[in-house]
Structure 1
Amino acid sequence: MSRDPQSPRPPRSPWRRLWSRLESGKADPHSRLGQYLAFRKAVTEIMAHTREEHLLLESLCSLAIECTPVKLAWVCRVEADGSLRTLADAGDTAYLDSFVERRTGLPVDHGPLTKVWQEQVPLFNEPFQEEPLRAAWQNNLRPFQLRSMAVLPMHRDHHPWALLVLYERNRQAFPRDCQLVLESIVREVSEALEDWVDILRERVAREHQLLLGTALQSGEDGVVLTDAERRILYVNASFTRMTGYTLAEISQYGLHHLQGPRTDPRTLAEIDGALCGQGFFNGKLLNYRRDGQTFWNHLSIIPIYQRSGEISHYVGIQRDVSREALAREQLEYEVSHDRLTGLGNRRGLMDQVAVTLPRVQRHAGSLAICIIDLDHFKPINDLYGHEAGDHVLRVIGRRLHSTLRRSDYVARLGGDEFVLLIEGFHSLEELEMLLIKLEVVVNEPIHLQSGKVVGVRLSMGVSLYSPDFSSDFDTLLRYADQALYRAKANKRQRSRYWELFTVEDRPADAGKARGPAITRTPPLGSDEDEN
Structure 2
Amino acid sequence: MARSGTRAVPFPPPPTAPRGPPSMANPPDAPSTRQGMLHRFGKRLGDALLARNPPPHHGQARLDRFLAFRNAVAQVAAHTEQEQVLLDALCTLALQSTTATLAWVCRPDAQGNFSTLAEAGRVDYLDEFAHPRTGLPIDQGPLNRVWREQTPLFNAPFPEGPLRRAWEERARKFSFRSIAVLPIPRDGKPWALFALYDPAARAFPSDCQIVLQSILRLVTETLEDWCDILQEREQARQQSILGAALKASDEGVILTDAERQVLYTNPSFSMLTGYLPAEITRLGMRVLQGPLTDPEALREIDAALHAQTFYNGTLLNYRRDGRTFWNHLSLIPIHSPEGALTHYVGMMRDVTEERLALHQLEYDAYHDRLTGIGNRRSLEDQVEVSLLRAQRQQSRLAVCMIDLDHFKPVNDLYGHDAGDHVLRVISRRLQEKLRRTDYVARIGGDEFVLLIEGYNTRQELEIILAKIEGAVTGPIYLKTGERVGVHLSMGVSLYHPPYRPDFTTLLQTADQALYQSKAQKGQREHYWIIVDGEPA
TM-score of the pair, normalised by structure 1? 0.74
Alignment check: 8 A CA contact 2:327 2:350 kept: yes
Are 1:417 and 2:443 matched, yes or no?
no
Give me the whole-angstrom Cα distance separating, in 2, the residues matched to 1:410 and 1:456.
18
Give me the whole-angstrom Cα distance separating, in 2, the residues matched to 1:140 and 1:366.
112
Are 1:507 and 2:535 matched, yes or no?
yes
**Map of 2:118 onto structure 1:** 89
Once the two structures are superposed, residues 101-142 of structure 1 have per-residue CA deviations (whole angstroms, 9 ceiling, x without a partner) of 999999765543331123222224543447565578789999
**Map of 1:231 onto structure 2:** 261
- SS of alignment partner, residue 521 of structure 2: coil
Give me the whole-angstrom Cα distance separating, in 2, the residues matched to 1:487 and 1:472.
23
- SS of alignment partner, residue 397 of structure 1: helix
| Alignment map for 1:308-319 (pairs within 5 Å) | 311-319=341-349
**Map of 2:70 onto structure 1:** 40
**Map of 1:470 onto structure 2:** 500
Alignment check: 8 A CA contact 1:367 1:465 kept: yes
Residues 365, 48 of structure 1: alpha-carbon distance in 2 compared, 3 angstrom cutoff: farther
Residues 272, 65 of structure 1: alpha-carbon distance in 2 compared, 3 angstrom cutoff: closer
Gaps of 5+ in 2: 1-47, 96-100
Alignment check: 8 A CA contact 1:47 1:192 kept: yes
Residues 103, 449 of structure 1: alpha-carbon distance in 2 compared, 3 angstrom cutoff: farther
- SS of alignment partner, residue 332 of structure 2: strand
* 1:62 Cα deviation from its structure 2 partner: 1.6
Identify which of 55, 69, 87 aligns with 1:61.
87
Alignment check: 8 A CA contact 2:390 2:497 kept: no
- SS of alignment partner, residue 127 of structure 1: coil
Which segment drifts farther, 371-380 or 480-489?
480-489
Give me the whole-angstrom Cα distance separating, in 2, the residues matched to 1:152 and 1:348.
85
**Map of 1:521 onto structure 2:** none
* 1:41 Cα deviation from its structure 2 partner: 3.1
- Counterpart amino acid of residue 74 in structure 1: V
- SS of alignment partner, residue 524 of structure 2: coil
Alignment check: 8 A CA contact 2:314 2:327 kept: yes
Alignment check: 8 A CA contact 1:61 1:73 kept: no
Give me the whole-angstrom Cα distance separating, in 2, the residues matched to 1:38 and 1:49.
17
**Map of 1:339 onto structure 2:** 369
Give me the whole-angstrom Cα distance separating, in 1, the residues matched to 2:150 and 2:84.
22
- SS of alignment partner, residue 469 of structure 1: coil
**Map of 2:43 onto structure 1:** none
Residues 241, 371 of structure 1: alpha-carbon distance in 2 compared, 3 angstrom cutoff: same
Once the two structures are superposed, residues 2-55 of structure 1 have per-residue CA deviations (whole angstroms, 9 ceiling, x without a partner) of xxxxxxxxxxxxxxxxxxx989945699x98777655533421233245x4xx2
Give me the whole-angstrom Cα distance separating, in 2, the residues matched to 1:456 and 1:106.
111
* 1:211 Cα deviation from its structure 2 partner: 4.0
Which segment drifts farther, 251-260 or 445-454?
445-454
Alignment check: 8 A CA contact 2:514 2:529 kept: yes
Residues 279, 183 of structure 1: alpha-carbon distance in 2 compared, 3 angstrom cutoff: closer
Alignment check: 8 A CA contact 1:36 1:178 kept: yes
* 1:376 Cα deviation from its structure 2 partner: 0.8
**Map of 1:161 onto structure 2:** 190
- SS of alignment partner, residue 507 of structure 1: coil
- RMSD between superposed Cα atoms in Å: 4.3
Relative contact order (alpha carbons < 8 A, sep ≥ 6): 1 or 2 greater? Answer: 2
**Map of 1:74 onto structure 2:** 105
Identify which of 518, 523, 527 aligns with 1:488.
518
Give me the whole-angstrom Cα distance separating, in 1, the residues matched to 2:535 and 2:168.
109
Give me the whole-angstrom Cα distance separating, in 2, the residues matched to 1:490 and 1:122.
116
Which segment drifts farther, 40-49 or 420-429?
420-429
Which segment drifts farther, 425-434 or 437-446?
425-434
- SS of alignment partner, residue 470 of structure 1: coil
Which segment drifts farther, 402-411 or 465-474?
402-411
Identify which of 231, 239, 243 aligns with 2:273.
243
Are 1:189 and 2:215 matched, yes or no?
no
Gaps of 5+ in 1: 1-20, 509-531
| Alignment map for 1:108-123 (pairs within 5 Å) | 111-123=141-153
Are 1:275 and 2:305 matched, yes or no?
yes
Once the two structures are superposed, residues 235-276 of structure 1 have per-residue CA deviations (whole angstroms, 9 ceiling, x without a partner) of 222222222222222233332322333332222222233333
Once the two structures are superposed, residues 390-413 of structure 1 have per-residue CA deviations (whole angstroms, 9 ceiling, x without a partner) of 333333334334544554433221
* 1:449 Cα deviation from its structure 2 partner: 4.9
- Counterpart amino acid of residue 324 in structure 1: E
* 1:63 Cα deviation from its structure 2 partner: 1.1
% identical aligned pairs: 54
Give me the whole-angstrom Cα distance separating, in 2, the residues matched to 1:188 and 1:379.
104
Give me the whole-angstrom Cα distance separating, in 2, the residues matched to 1:455 and 1:319.
52
Which segment drifts farther, 108-117 or 285-294?
108-117
| Alignment map for 1:243-392 (pairs within 5 Å) | 243-305=273-335, 311-392=341-422
Residues 89, 310 of structure 1: alpha-carbon distance in 2 compared, 3 angstrom cutoff: closer
- Counterpart amino acid of residue 372 in structure 2: G
* 1:184 Cα deviation from its structure 2 partner: 2.2
* 1:87 Cα deviation from its structure 2 partner: 9.0
Once the two structures are superposed, residues 262-313 of structure 1 have per-residue CA deviations (whole angstroms, 9 ceiling, x without a partner) of 3322222222333334543222222222233333222222334467866454
Give me the whole-angstrom Cα distance separating, in 2, the residues matched to 1:104 and 1:469.
100
Alignment check: 8 A CA contact 1:367 1:464 kept: yes
**Map of 2:489 onto structure 1:** 459
Residues 254, 366 of structure 1: alpha-carbon distance in 2 compared, 3 angstrom cutoff: farther
Aligned residues: 478
